[in-house]
């Protein structure tokens, strides 16, 4: 683990504890660890994509046609009103 600069700038690196490999590290609080875990969970949720819907193709085409017809009617009435 590397020395964390965001928490305490006035700590002497020689006073920091060492891990098994001899690297010095600064102990973080449990609140910091919890917030980092929470951020990781939120990132994972954002990365999950919605599955594509591969339902009935005939119904999909009918919905698309109906939506286009409604849009055309809205555009025609909007032009006559304005």
Query: pLDDT tens across 13-50, in order?
Result: 666 666 666 666 666 666 666 677 777 777 776 677 77
Query: pLDDT tens across 43-74, in order?
Result: 776 677 777 777 888 999 999 999 999 999 88
Instruction: Answer whether 8's CB lies under 8 Å from 16's CB.
Output: no
Instruction: Answer whether 28's CB lies under 8 Å from 7's CB.
Output: yes
Encoded tokens for 1: 């683990």
**pTM score, whole prediction:** 0.31
CB half-sphere exposure, 2, CA atoms < 13 A: 3
Using CA atoms, how far residue 48 sits from 22, 29, 30, 41, 57, in Å, is: 38, 30, 28, 11, 25
């Amino acid at each position: 683990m590397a020395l964390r600069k965001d928490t305490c700038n006035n700590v002497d690196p020689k006073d920091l504890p060492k891990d098994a490999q001899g690297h010095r590290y600064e102990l973080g609080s449990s609140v910091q660890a919890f917030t980092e875990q929470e951020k990781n969970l939120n990132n994972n949720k954002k990365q999950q994509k919605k599955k594509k819907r591969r339902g009935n193709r005939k119904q999909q085409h009918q919905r698309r046609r109906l939506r286009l017809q409604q849009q055309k009617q809205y555009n025609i009435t909007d032009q006559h009103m304005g």
